[in-house]
Each structure stands twice: as structure tokens, then as C-alpha cells.
Chains A and B, each alone.
Chain A
Amino acid sequence: MEEFSDRELLDLFAQASTRNHAFNMLVRQYQQRLYWHIRKMVLDHDDADDLLQNVFIKAFKALDNFREDSKIYTWLYKIATNECITFLNTKKKRFMVPMADVEYQLSQNLETDSYFSGDRIQMKLQQAILTLPDKQRLVFNLKYFEEMKYEDMSEILGTSVGALKASFHHAVKKIEEFMKRD
């Protein structure tokens, strides 16, 4: 698929005649990356699907006011990350359950998820990731699976590069300990 630059997309989006086409291109260009980012946070496909739609709807409404201080890619990741955190917090509040229980529930769902094709070790890795606090989980996923640069992560999460490196290091240590158990 042909990749459009941010400038090209924004120029096309600015014109009424090519607005929908530009947005369609933007969706096609970023849908997969954003989906996997969301999916690794919420785990369930249907939840990820809903949240991905929310992300693009918000992006559509705000794209006119997008200032090119950042790349569209990091801006979209930022929206997606906020959606995930809001979703997880709402879930915890709605069911009035402690965070550990939500993680346990997510972990249980993973075992019965028909859209999870990982083997035993991959399942254990996901369960280990679930023991991390939300922000540490985000850092680990973005670095380990998506191999994102710390500079881009810093822009998305609003945290310094040094703090992100430390957070990743702690996440790795915790996961290592979890994996060594049993």
C-alpha cells in the first residue's frame, strides 16, 4: 500500500473534495499499528475494535486543528493510549474491583480467547505483562513488541526518556521474576 507523508495527508484533508479520501488513506495507513497497540493493552478483540473506532473518530474531529508539532503517527498513538487507559480505569471503577482482579480476569479471558494463538510460553509472557502497572505495561509493549524509539514514546506518554528507560528496566525485571516462577 502506498504510504502518504503527513504533509500530503493534511493537505488532502484540508480540501473538502478530498477530505474523505485523505481520511480513508490515514485509516488504512495506521489501522494495523494502532490496533495491535490497543489490543496488547485491552487483550480482547471486540474491545480493541471499539477503541480503534473511537480513536479514528476523535482523530477525524481534531485533524483540522492538528498542529505539526508532532508526527501524525505519535499523535494517533497518544489518542489510542489515552483511550486504553480511560477504558481500563472505567472497567475497574464500573465493576468496583481491585486492579489485581481485573488483571486476573484479563488473564483468564486470554486463556479462552479464540483469537489468541500463542503457545504456553507466549501465554505466560502475556500473563507476566498483565502483572505490571498500566503505564509500565505500555512502556514494555511499545519497546519490546513495537520496538519504538524512546524519543517517540516520550512524546506519546509525556514522560522523559530517562524515566522510560528505567520503567522498561523495572518491567523486564518483574517479568523475568514471574517467568522464573513454577
Chain B
Amino acid sequence: MNPEETPDFIPEGFPKGNPFRVPEGYFDRFPAKLAERMEEDKKIRRFPFPSLLKPAPLLAAACMLIIAGVFGYRMLSGPADPLTDDEISTYVYQEGIIDELEVDDILESTDMAESTDTTPTRAYTNENEEIQYYLLDEDIDDADIINEL
């Protein structure tokens, strides 16, 4: 077949016409619609960072600002120079805070008063052992202690 010929698979009388349609009055409205879009584009171009006007970069920029804000706030509000143990104990004694505290207050603040755990602490156990060793070393009899009391 000569490439210049009309393809022969098209039946006789087949309309070569256009099977597509457009909305009513589309071509009449198109120049105005185009002018409107060009005006919009011009406005965007006037903004120094046009890419920031697109939703995705705008959202990313907002997220970055929020993260930076939270991080900055934490940095500023955190302890700049934490107090040493010595400074704390000096403060407590100087202010006489220790005198005002009762044993019950301390227990309460450390939750020991409410504690149901009856296991002796390691420090307490060590203290008993030390007493026992002392008594054995010094050869002190239980009866002597009772008599002394």
C-alpha cells in the first residue's frame, strides 16, 4: 500500500470526522480562561519564592518551623548549669530546711511509708553483719550486753 493512501481498513463512507467532543462553548471561553491563568501566574511570579506557594513545600516548611520551635523551646527552658550535690546540701543546711523535715515527711516523700516491701535493704543487712563481726572480734558475750542494758 502506498503510505500516502488512506488506509483500506476504513469501510466505505466511514466518516473520518472527529469522535471527540468538548463542553458547550469551550472554545469561546478558552481565551478568557487562559488570560485568567496568566494573570494568576504573574501574581505567583511576583512572590520571591514561588515554589513556597505550592502546598507540599509550604507544608514541609511549616513542619520544619514547628520542629525547630519545639527544639528551641526545650533548649532554652532546660537547666543551663545543673547544681552539684555539694551545692544542694549546702543550700539545705544554710536554709535550715533539714531542721523542718520530719522522718515521716522524708518517708512519705520517698514512698517508703506506704511501701509493702519487707525485704531489708542491703545497707541494713550490712550493718547487722558489721555488729556481729564486732561482737565476735571483741569477744563480747550476749549476757554482758543484756546486763549493760
Q: B125 CB to closest chain A CB, in angstroms?
A: 68
- For the complex, what is the distance from the CA of A72 to the CA of B27, rounded to whole Å? 20
How many pairs of A and B residues are in contact by the CB < 8 Å rule? 73
CA distance A180 to B37 in the complex (A): 45
Does B70 make an interface contact (CB < 8 A)?
no
In A112-130, the 8 Å CB interface with B consists of: 115-119, 121-123, 125-126
Task: Give Cα A96 to B26, complex, Å.
Answer: 33
Given the known inter-chain contacts A27-B30, A115-B23, A180-B9, please indicate yes or no for A172 contacting B18, CB distance below 8 A: no
Nearest neighbor of A40 in chain B, beta-carbon distance: B20
Residue count of chain A within 8 Å CB distance of chain B: 38
> Does chain B have a CB within 8 A of A87?
no
> B31 on the interface (CB 8 Å rule)?
yes
Cα(A27)–Cα(B30), bound, Å: 9
> Would you call B120 an interface residue if the criterion is a C-beta within 8 Å of the partner chain's C-beta atoms?
no
Distance of A36 from chain B, by nearest CB (Å): 7
Cβ contacts under 8 Å, A169 to chain B: 1, 3
- B-to-A contact residues, CB < 8 Å: 1, 3-4, 6-11, 14, 16, 18-23, 26-27, 30-31, 33-35, 37-38, 41
